[in-house]
A and B are shown apart, each in its own frame.
Chain A
Amino acid sequence: MTAIWARTTAGLAVCALRAQLKRWYMGLLLMALYMAAHANPVLVLSSRTGGAYDEVIEGIRLEVARSADLRVQYLSGPWRTLESASLIVAVGVDAASAALQTADPGIPILCVLIPRSAYDSLVASRRDNRKVSALYLDTPVHRQIELIRLLLPQVRSAGAVLGSVSQRDKEAIKSIARERGLNFITEQATRDSELYVALRTVLADTEVFVAIPDPVVMNAATAQNVLITAFRTQVPVIGYTASYVKAGALAAVFSTPMQIGHETGLIIKSHLRTASLPPPKYPRFFSVGVNASVMKTLGLPPADEQALAQRLSRAE
């Protein structure tokens, strides 16, 4: 009886001790995380306030609220790079440029809300060994092409006007299109004055036009004219931003600032765990926008944007 009582008592003591150790362990872990987070905060440096920038920051906050000490600074206000920061998240091209120029080389930088061409230009000019990566703002072309396949399965030819920057992806784009059964026609324009000759040539021979961003020939300044020209020649356009859809493109695939923020938060958390950044990449989360009026004009049935995004996601 005594032996049984002793074993029971000992057992209870061990359990209590284990529970206590577990609590201590959890507490220590939380403390370590808290210490790590607060001792080495994550600096979010934004090019501007408001709009897409604040949406990205809000997305980050929602994702990492409990696991990182976020310090938000804006280029427009008084700002300084924190020497103690474990990571700098630069939101926008100007913030990325400022961070790369002024931050301690030991602090890794994650550039978000940045076009790939801008990131490549900024990083190409640097020779330090800083850890730097990016979550591009661009949509990978394969998503646009896959969207054509889903929306317009009968289409056999697509085309694009490429500028001196987007031209480097020409063969990759053609290869992606070929894999999906599309003949992809491209014309090059190196100056904005050459855009419309190239555009006319492409539109004459293609059933759908794909807008691929380029600093000179395919950007917000030329978008309206591209849409007018395509609209007049009755060639639907697949864009790369939500604005394209609103303005008259048939559809677009793009990542919203909130989605960029959410994915940035995941990268921050991963960085806090592993102290490493993934290589520069296109966003994993994206949306599809469809212009119902254009669909109707083309005699196409109404499309479910969410379902299209899910199908695209599954296709990857």
Chain B
Amino acid sequence: MTDMVRERSLIPRNLPWAFVYLGILYARSLHAQTEDVAFLSEQDYFREIPQVFATSRLPQLPQDSSGANTVLDRAYIQSSGARNISELFIGVPGFQVGLSAGGRPVVAYHGFSGQVSQRMQVFVDGRSLYAPYLFGGVDWTSVTVPLHEIERIEIHRGSNSAAYGANAFLGVIHIYTRAAIQASGVALDIQQGQNGVSDKSVRWGSAKNGLQWRAVALQKQDQGLLGRADDSAANSLDVRADYQISSSKSLTLLSGASHGYYGIGNPGSVADPARKEQKQTAFAHLQYKQLVEDGQEWSVSASWTQDTGHDTYRIPLLSGDSLDMINNRKANRYTLEYQHYKAMKGALRASWGAAIHQDAVVAHELFSTTESQKNTAWRIYYNQEWRPLQNWTLNAGGLIEKDQFTPVQFAPRFSLNWKPVPDHVIKIGHSSAFRTPSLFEQRSDWRVRDENGDTLYIKYLSRGGLVPERIKATDLVYQGHLRPARLAVDARIFREELSRLITGELYPVQGGNGNAGVAYDLRNSESATHDGVEYQISWKPLSGSTLSWSDYTATTVSTKNALQKSTPRRSYGLVLTHKTNNGLSLYGAYARTRPMTWLGEATQAEQQTIFTASIQKTVRHEQAILRYSLTWRQPFGKLVEFRELQYLPQTLWLGLNIER
């Protein structure tokens, strides 16, 4: 408890410095503000304006893109009252959302996930969040971007390694932040409520000629789930700067850092005592874009991401001694990528590129060595859109990737889109994708040792030689607008054949004895077939109102029971948003997921029913925009969350956002 108090006290100690720093920057920006000019010159009419738009930068039109896509726009994100990005996926067909513990959300598309989102790729402004440690996956706590700064989230529901490489296995999420220009000025956001909900953020931004920047300092905390000692508190700083070098060249810097404490363990447990895990993230991402001409652009980006975890505790022994458990890790990822887009002659648009990245993990506990475990991979890709006729679009592409441990992988994809009448498109597509084994899966040597360093027992001992998991996905997608009825329909019928799935198996260790005589290893030994249908029907009965019904039904057949149970048979939900002309916004979401067992869990998560309601009022006061919000999660009582004996509590929180 003392530790907890001490740790908590660190939080307000850091934040004031962020305020001071931002204050200095703001003072400078005020100082630099130009005086008003008397009148326009004719040169204002002929001066070249840097291009902000080119064909190549455009997202494809929904009727021309491959597969099924869902877009969560800024208006939806704001109206939801959500505190965490993961909560936004509740209404998306085929998605499962959970909290494995306080502050540790999991998002999965079509299941096959444990405590981290393993079989899905997530990008923030083009930077992958896929973490190379442990079992590989997306750690949502490493996202430093506050919800207010998200411009939109694009979700590709389906495999897409052909465009995004390894780990774009079952689906891909793209999170796009607002350009710095849109976040100029100052903003303050406070959320305060039950169960220790206490979030505060301050944003400062400036836009001057070619250079725009914004910085957000965020402090976030809550008491987590009921039945667990999993309260969490984190501080983060997120910075974005956009610099227009010339009319055709631009530079964007994205960077951030976060530091948080996350409660784990069980009170009263000797082997797994209640404690705080400390996690830190830092990243920098530099993008250079060069517009060659309208419809042609190339870009180079370099990024670095570091994730650090500290979790040390002692297990007392009967002898009076104790075992020091040190689960510390440091993972670095470096990526360099080149992309080129071009609108070719006729009806052809193409993009191609190459990337190289290196993962390096230092984790003595996981690898029984203090040496850095490294894996370097490269990939090349080509994708194109061809519209030979007005009603037909063919998307085709492929990617080749190779890392140090696995053979060359090829991921092709094609999709044929037919638009029989305007506003209606039928797409048939096939793709093959892969998930690269993580460094832990390839080289784990995780032992519990006594005070002399001798092995007491082995948790994981890899025999190596893993190859990437593969998936073949075939789908039929219909997207249509029935404008007179104000209805939009998005349906996907799919068959996903997963092979070479990596799961744990116990095996006798050669030369080992006693408890050290057996160990878990991870092998490409399982397969699964996932067939189903998912759809979303959106109806706009009134101006400003949207009612969306999502439904997902699937059958999983697998050689391993745990895999079969990791996907729910059905999930469905209803989301209502309504916005009035006088600044009032209403949001209500109801979602139900049939029982499933998350991978690695001993107990089943019972049927999950989530209900969230939010009401917001936006008013303008002189030059400031004020938004008040009241959000109520689980108003009908607590809910079993992720595994038995832990509950998502009923929580009410109030929010105030001031933007100027």
- Give residues in A with beta carbon < 8 Å to B: 47, 51-52, 92-94, 113-115, 117-118, 121, 137, 165, 191-194, 196-197, 200-201, 213-216, 219-221, 223-225, 227-229, 231-233, 240-241, 243-244, 246-248, 254, 257, 291, 293-294, 296-297, 299
Is B42 in contact with A47, judged by CB distance below 8 angstroms?
yes
Bound CA–CA A200/B181 (angstroms): 11
Is A193 in contact with B185, judged by CB distance below 8 angstroms?
yes
Q: Enumerate chain A residues within 8 angstroms of B625, measured Cβ to Cβ.
A: 197, 200-201
Bound CA–CA A15/B207 (angstroms): 80
Is A243 in contact with B47, judged by CB distance below 8 angstroms?
yes
Of B13-21, B31-39, B278-286, B394-402, which stretch is located at the interface? B31-39
9 contacts between A and B (CB under 8 A): A51-B46, A115-B39, A193-B184, A215-B37, A229-B179, A243-B49, A246-B294, A297-B58, A299-B61
Is B623 in contact with A241, judged by CB distance below 8 angstroms?
no
B463 at the interface (CB under 8 A from A): no
A225 and B53 contact, Cβ closer than 8 Å, known pairs A196-B182, A196-B185: no
B620 at the interface (CB under 8 A from A): yes
Bound CA–CA A113/B46 (angstroms): 11
Is B295 in contact with A228, judged by CB distance below 8 angstroms?
no
Chain B 618-631 interface mask (CB, 8 Å, partner A; 1/0)? 00100111000000
A229 and B55 contact, Cβ closer than 8 Å, known pairs A197-B660, A243-B47: no
Report the interface size class on chain B: 35 or more
B210: nearest chain-A partner, CB-CB: A224
B3 at the interface (CB under 8 A from A): no
Within 8 A of A (CB), among B203-237: 207, 209, 212
Is A165 in contact with B48, judged by CB distance below 8 angstroms?
no
Is A118 in contact with B45, judged by CB distance below 8 angstroms?
no
A52 and B42 contact, Cβ closer than 8 Å, known pairs A216-B37, A293-B55, A293-B58: yes
A120: nearest chain-B partner, CB-CB: B39
Within 8 A of A (CB), among B15-74: 33-34, 36-55, 58, 61, 74
A220 and B49 contact, Cβ closer than 8 Å, known pairs A115-B42, A193-B185, A293-B55: yes
Among B52, B185, B659, point to the contact of A231 (Cβ < 8 A): B52
Q: How far is the CB of A100 from chain B (nearest CB, A)?
A: 14
Identify the interface centre among A115, A165, A213: most chain B CB within 10 Å of its CB. Answer: A115
Bound CA–CA A291/B57 (angstroms): 14
B178 at the interface (CB under 8 A from A): yes
A219 and B40 contact, Cβ closer than 8 Å, known pairs A193-B33, A224-B50, A294-B53: yes
Q: DSSP majority for the B interface?
A: loop
Q: Enumerate chain A residues within 8 angstroms of B58, measured Cβ to Cβ.
A: 293, 297
Bound CA–CA A44/B58 (angstroms): 46
Bound CA–CA A213/B179 (angstroms): 23
Q: Enumerate chain B residues within 8 angstroms of A257, measured Cβ to Cβ.
A: 46
Is B52 in contact with A224, judged by CB distance below 8 angstroms?
yes
Among B38, B45, B207, point to the contact of A215 (Cβ < 8 A): B38
Bound CA–CA A94/B40 (angstroms): 11
Q: DSSP majority for the A interface?
A: helix
Is B42 in contact with A92, judged by CB distance below 8 angstroms?
yes
Chain B 124-151 interface mask (CB, 8 Å, partner A; 1/0)? 0000000000000000000000000001
Is A247 in contact with B51, judged by CB distance below 8 angstroms?
yes
Q: Enumerate chain A residues within 8 angstroms of B36, measured Cβ to Cβ.
A: 191, 215-216
Is A228 in contact with B52, judged by CB distance below 8 angstroms?
yes
Q: Enumerate chain A residues within 8 angstroms of B55, measured Cβ to Cβ.
A: 293, 296
Among A93, A224, A299, point to the contact of B39 (Cβ < 8 A): A93
A121: nearest chain-B partner, CB-CB: B39
B524 at the interface (CB under 8 A from A): no
Q: How far is the CB of B215 from chain A (nearest CB, A)?
A: 16
Bound CA–CA A248/B51 (angstroms): 6
Q: How far is the CB of A189 from chain B (nearest CB, A)?
A: 9
Q: How far is the CB of A173 from chain B (nearest CB, A)?
A: 17
Bound CA–CA A117/B182 (angstroms): 28
Among B43, B49, B61, B184, point to the contact of A227 (Cβ < 8 A): B49
Shortest Cβ-Cβ A-B pairs, 8 listed: A248-B53, A247-B49, A118-B39, A220-B47, A115-B40, A220-B44, A293-B55, A225-B181
B198 at the interface (CB under 8 A from A): no
Q: Enumerate chain B residues within 8 angstroms of A215, measured Cβ to Cβ.
A: 36-40
B182: nearest chain-A partner, CB-CB: A229
B244 at the interface (CB under 8 A from A): yes
Is B42 in contact with A93, judged by CB distance below 8 angstroms?
yes
Given contacts A115-B40, A115-B41, A228-B181, 20 further A-B contacts (CB under 8 A): A51-B46, A52-B42, A115-B42, A118-B40, A137-B45, A193-B33, A197-B185, A213-B40, A215-B38, A216-B36, A220-B43, A220-B47, A227-B53, A228-B52, A240-B45, A243-B49, A246-B48, A246-B294, A254-B45, A294-B53
Among A118, A213, A232, A293, point to the contact of B294 (Cβ < 8 A): A293
